[in-house]
Amino acid sequence: MEIIENLKVKEKLYIEKLENGLTVMVIPKKGMQKKYIIWGTNYGSNESSFIVPGETEVTTVPDGVAHFLEHKMFEQENGRNSLDVLTEIGVSANAYTTNDHTAYLYECTDHFYEALDEFMNYVQHPYFTDENVEKEKGIIGQEIMMYDDYPDWKVYLNALQAMYHKFPIRLDTVGTIETISKINKEILYKCYNTFYNPSNMAMVISGDFEPEKIIEEVKKRLIETKANGEIKRIYPEEPESIVKEKVTQNMEVSRPLYAIGIKDKPITCNSGSKDEIVKKHIAIEILMNLIFGESSKLYKDLYNKGIISASPSMDYEFSRGYAHILISGQSNNPEEVYQALKNEIKEMQEKGINEADFNRLRKSLYGDYVKEYNDVTDIARMFLADYFKGINSFEYIEQIMLVNKEYAEQILKEVFNENSMVLSIVAM
């Protein structure tokens, strides 16, 4: 077992890679009542073309399979739904699918090990039939139609489609009515056997646990499976250019929604680039707050004019093959917000960054990172998502003070490129 200690947040990470390839991470929280476990597979909605270990031909499956699999995993051969079973035990269970991973989880204060039996059983025992697959198509079809009517989702998805020509990040995670109609039990089993192999999975546990003991409990409940070889993931070649700068959709909204995207070059995480990726992410978070955070000149100006009424949501999203900034919110005049943002970026690129503001926001961001270690949910989700990107979450704490004003100015010029910007609007 490997032990990584971070003295800045006074936390220890215990990591063990099991014989079957599964990576188990434990972050003990002495005295914490809540316990949290998340088990994820390095498989999300972007993986529609791949080469199965041991094969040579490319397998291509319909869009939406990863999400479909997540839905189907709870249904068991005994007729019970494992989500219902876990609820009856008294734990709060859930699952989710993103572009790059799928995860199953539960949290509780009591009955952890009783729930662990059911949890580890259903994730390792898929049960797909022609009948239950067809039934699920109707359920997911309703979910797709619901998202089609959801303005916040459409303004986000439209921004992605304005940025990306071919890369599957531009597609809805759940697929479409047409693509899910092509899913059958054989496709589900093939994707399960390929991506749900322990060597492509990781588990994170946080709470008041003895690391060695909880890992032994996990081992007891694992079925005998051999580690697979490497899965070759096939992605389309994505141009650096955007598709179009502006997209507008009319929907029933009380106030126009906007999403401003800035397309970045895709990043890869290997041993040589890991620190650089973390530093870049930190720099972009600081820059977003310098440009449009609540203490920024731009935010105060737009707020005082009544153009915006709340601080925007700002995120840097990246994984295998894609990276972009998204800034979203509500405004009576999204075009004015967009133009003001471009002007502010240009002015900051020309004049440089105010060092006092930079240091203040870097200190604030450091505080936010530290706070994440107060909650077992935040800890576990963070370590799982970062692990699948090739990053140890402690790196953010370690690297933040190495990000200086000069480096941030370099990233400001490289990433915040006007030619890579798009505006998505949903309005009446």
- pLDDT digits over 327-339, tens only? 999 999 999 999 9
The tens digit of pLDDT for each residue in 62-73 reads 999 999 999 999
Tell me the one-letter amino acid at 181. S
Q: What is the pLDDT of residues 354-371, one digit of tens each?
A: 999 999 999 999 999 999
Fold equal for 2-233 and 246-427: yes
Q: Residue 206: which H helix or E strand, with range?
A: strand 201-207
What is the structure's pLDDT at 268?
Answer: 66
Q: How far apart are CA 365 and CA 78, in angstroms?
A: 49
In tens, the pLDDT along 40-57 reads 999 999 999 999 999 999
Give this prediction's pTM: 0.94
Give the model's confidence band at 271: pLDDT under 50 very low, under 70 low, under 90 confident, else very high: very low
Cα–Cα distance for residue pair 38/119, rounded to 1 Å = 10
Give the residue extent of every domain in the chain.
2-233, 246-427
What confidence category does residue 292 fall into, taking pLDDT thresholds of 50, 70 and 90? Answer: very high
Q: 317: exposed, middle or buried (C-beta count within 10 Å: 0-12, 13-18, 19+)?
A: middle
For 255, half-sphere exposure in the C-beta direction (CA atoms, 13 angstrom radius) is: 11
DSSP letters of 211-260?
A: HHHHHHHHHHT----PPP-PPEE--PPPPSS-S-SEEEEE---SS-EEEE
**pLDDT at residue 269, rounded to an integer:** 55
The pLDDT tens digits of the residues spanning 124-161 come to 999 999 999 999 999 999 999 988 889 999 999 999 99
CB 163 within 8 A of CB 324: yes
Q: Is 373 exposed, middle or buried (0-12, 13-18, 19+ CB in 10 A)?
A: buried
Lowest-pLDDT range of 99-103, 265-269, 298-302, 375-379: 265-269
Shortest CA distance to 423 belongs to which of 265, 258, 239? 258
Q: How confident is the model at residue 267 (pLDDT cuts 50, 70, 90)?
A: confident
> For the chain, what is the mean pLDDT?
95
Residues with catalytic roles: 70
Class of domain 2-233: alpha beta
Indicate the CATH number for domain 246-427: 3.30.830.10
- For range 162-184, the mean pLDDT: 96
